[in-house]
Amino acid sequence: MVKTDVMMSLIATESTSIWSTTQRDCHRLATTLAIILSRRRAVSSSIRSKSIFLDNNYPNYSWLLPGWLVEERHMDTGRIYKYFYDPAGSLYYSRAQVLNAWDQSGLVILDDD
């Protein structure tokens, strides 16, 4: 299901959602999200959580490259787990792992600061 506003689109699936600023980005990120969700293991019904998928258009994750997603899994206990995914759906457990993967791939990142 896709709802489009002037500058923001939301794609929702069951207990997950993904935010992106353009329709084209939504399509690309929806593909990545489909890969991620197809690989997800079944979670015990006693564990309650809500997952939100965000991209580099969300202020806290503006450092991510286009096509990358972060999953914030909000637990009933208040704890938030963060998982990072590249466009192919590979999983990274921290910002440090993401930056290391970029470094190992030979990617050069220029910071505007």
Residue 87: domain span: 2-104
Q: Count the Cβ atoms, other than its own, within 10 Å of residue 93.
A: 11
Per-residue pLDDT 10s for the chain (113 aa) are 333 222 233 333 334 445 545 666 677 777 888 888 787 766 555 667 888 999 898 899 999 998 899 999 999 999 999 999 999 899 999 999 999 999 999 887 776 65
Is the residue at 110 inside a domain? no
- Give pTM, 2 decimals: 0.69
Strand partners, 13: 16
Domain tally, the chain: 1
Residue 36 sits at φ, ψ, to 5 deg, of -60, -50
Is the residue at 10 inside a domain? yes
